[in-house]
Structure 1
């Protein structure tokens, strides 16, 4: 697509706005570098009330951007989770802000040690298209709770929600406190290159590498929430009905366009047909139809839809067996709705087993033993999420101790991300750093170490000239 003169003009205008607002936020932070707990609580209240006021408008805007996105999915996965996070942080800000006493060694007495959690300054937040409300506002809430200012770069693939969210935030925040930036690749690149005091990026691993390289030019600390292929293990002891019902929900939410969606199933050999039959039945209970069902979300745009279709075709051409979960046998040639495609007999040369799927495709990988399943996971990049279905405590402990993942849900999918008192973050190629809850507050604060002495200075005993009797006694007591 060739950029028009208008497109170029708009990009330049937004770039200029980005640089201007960044300078203004930096200056505003210097004038108010340590907002009180009362001020931070007030800001979170303002954000919560604005979100409640605009929730229907926001849900409708997301629905329009996707062409079909269940308003209930938006309320459950984005608005409810954000409001709960705000309430959780609001109730704990005073406690999080308290200076934290630390131990003083006998050698340094009398003195005191403490950590003071100081706001970093101006936080950059880069938001993907799949959950544009939650992934903009929870990092924003965290930045405000820690006493910072923030600028949010939205995805160019969600223009309607960008407009709605920008209007909502403008009602309660001056742009020197919170600002929303739009624009395509040129603006995104410039955004990542700013000298932020911290940068939060949520998106693909490939783009995450580019963002981190750009941030490195300014030594900007980053939190990267990426993705990868999140495995779902069904253990031999597990009841198939229980497992599949919970997997079907986690995979169907947002039509699988979720960074922690179950990406592939590790299944005991011989249970493939039982899994498929059970999945067909459980899916049909939730979604009796797909095509015209407002509860089932469409693929966000044609580019993503074509990618998913091409990957299914690639698998089929290389020998995979495809089962389409389509309760009413509907056709989808003129819509971006896409039913789930279960892939059997997959091989490592297929795209569906190489790349994060981010859509309604679900490969089955069989195993003969749990050790084989563990090896399969550990031979690949560490995922953002791992799911285990087993009621056996020994199996649970074995999987937890022998695999790495950003987070784990046992006998459920997705729900670990909704736990406000637990951090969320990836490991290795699936990301770095944590936010949510207290860990988010800490990530966006500087834990400033403060060592304090009074009039008496015990340290003078180690001042030159060296070789004194008291110094020799100190060595004898402590250097052993």
Structure 2
């Protein structure tokens, strides 16, 4: 057995011990009070506030260039918003709910209600593009539901993962919340643990492997994936507005965002003005060269640089027109790639088949909006869908004839900002939700409780054996539309 295999085996053994420890602590704890839940959420908030500098520096180092303000705005503030929303609402969410009694038992004092109990120990597998948000935003609702958590950050952000582990260790006992770090072997072992719930933010291929592992213990899953999220620009749209808001989103984290615009449909006669508007919007946001603009975020690693560049290069070789924003294309510069517009590539190119997840945007033209909608529906269901336009009937047509995780109208990538509304995918883009009340419900077990009344009327009404013909006739009479 070589050193790496031994290391992986040691990591797995420690992970298994942590899961067992948290499960035992959860059983011994009994009811998880509102005060305990709020205290755990508050400690997570305090942790982020105290360690914000170290975490921002670690994220920057992992990316190569990621401005502090980007990490503060999306990773830190995004996580804090979820945590503070959960802290505010958890008392209301966890209250038992009375339900209507079963007749005729309710006439004699029988009652029914639903209590929202912790599921137990939740595994959280984060991803690299927003390494803090994809671990700590779901943690907010995991803690609100009274659970304990084990977090596995992405191995592509080793400095961030280590900084997060140190921060969590300062504010939480390992029996409450703990971070485990390791490579692919540990990640595979993590998804195979007998968690009471497992959350993954990542890609569809990884999700399929995780589902196979989780199936061994019938672990329920929340999968936050991605896919090719489309933008439809209607003929009634303000082209400048649509271009600006698409480019604001596409420039965010250099396109490394699961709900980002992947391809845009625009009316054929508006294609050229729209491309001009996209370039103008980019130049106003990121003036100068992509290689030197301090706000332009690096791609996470060389492998992803090569992947994205390969998509664009293949499309260009197949006849697609490519427009480079941010100066002439000079290849990856310190893991920075420019944003490139790929116009009307062939349908069978890699950029049309795979999620881009980086600084490239496909622009397609349509003659009939119905054809654009049909093309979107021919693809796997995306995590997000965007429509620009002022035509209410057309807007309704798009909403009624497409399926996606969420939608923003006359905007891109804003619906996840609604902390009191569910965020999640459907089909290839995921399953389950977090955010808001739905996030709490995702990680809570809705437990139905029935309490018998002071008298059991079944014998009086002839509902117990030996059954009579009279009972059968009464039931037969009640079976009707």
Question: What TM-score, normalized by structure 2, do the two folds share?
Answer: 0.96
Moved more, 194-203 or 456-465: 456-465
Tell whether 2:17 aligns with 1:20: yes
- Counterpart contact for 1:291–1:330, Cα < 8 Å: no
For residue 183 of structure 2, what is the aligned residue in structure 1? 184
For residue 435 of structure 2, what is the aligned residue in structure 1? 436
Tell whether 2:154 aligns with 1:171: no
Q: How many residues align?
A: 475
Aligned-pair CA distance for 1:279? 1.1
For residue 446 of structure 2, what is the aligned residue in structure 1? 447
- Counterpart contact for 1:127–1:135, Cα < 8 Å: yes
1:22 and 1:235 mapped to 2: Cα distance?
A: 51
1:105 and 1:370 mapped to 2: Cα distance?
A: 51
Partner deviation per Cα, 1:62-91 (whole Å, 9 max, x = no partner):
110000012111111111111111111111
Partner deviation per Cα, 1:298-319 (whole Å, 9 max, x = no partner):
0000110111111111111111
Partner deviation per Cα, 1:201-227 (whole Å, 9 max, x = no partner):
111101111101111111111111111
List aligned pairs for 1:377-456, cutoff 5 A: 377-456=376-455
Aligned-pair CA distance for 1:468? 6.4
Q: Residue 50 of structure 2 is aligned with which of 50, 53, 72?
A: 53
- Structure 1 unaligned segments of length 5 or more: list them: none
Partner deviation per Cα, 1:369-401 (whole Å, 9 max, x = no partner):
111111011111110000111122222211111
2:230 and 2:332 mapped to 1: Cα distance?
A: 30
For residue 370 of structure 1, what is the aligned residue in structure 2? 369
Partner deviation per Cα, 1:422-462 (whole Å, 9 max, x = no partner):
10111111111111111111111110111221221123331
Q: Residue 80 of structure 1 is aligned with which of 77, 81, 89?
A: 77
Partner deviation per Cα, 1:333-377 (whole Å, 9 max, x = no partner):
542111111011211110000000000111111111111111011
For residue 106 of structure 1, what is the aligned residue in structure 2? 103
- Counterpart contact for 1:109–1:458, Cα < 8 Å: no
Secondary structure at the aligned position of 1:424 is classed as coil
For residue 62 of structure 1, what is the aligned residue in structure 2? 59
1:316 and 1:122 mapped to 2: Cα distance?
A: 49
2:79 and 2:111 mapped to 1: Cα distance?
A: 39
Question: What TM-score, normalized by structure 1, do the two folds share?
Answer: 0.96
Aligned-pair CA distance for 1:331? 3.5
1:362 and 1:414 mapped to 2: Cα distance?
A: 15
Secondary structure at the aligned position of 2:175 is classed as coil
For residue 145 of structure 1, what is the aligned residue in structure 2? 144
Tell whether 2:88 aligns with 1:91: yes
Tell whether 2:242 aligns with 1:230: no
CA-atom RMSD, angstroms? Answer: 1.6
For residue 39 of structure 2, what is the aligned residue in structure 1? 42
1:6 and 1:55 mapped to 2: Cα distance?
A: 35
Aligned-pair CA distance for 1:478? 3.8
Tell whether 2:347 aligns with 1:348: yes
- Counterpart contact for 1:78–1:131, Cα < 8 Å: yes
1:368 and 1:151 mapped to 2: Cα distance?
A: 51
- Structure 2 unaligned segments of length 5 or more: list them: none
For residue 243 of structure 1, what is the aligned residue in structure 2? 242
For residue 464 of structure 1, what is the aligned residue in structure 2? 465
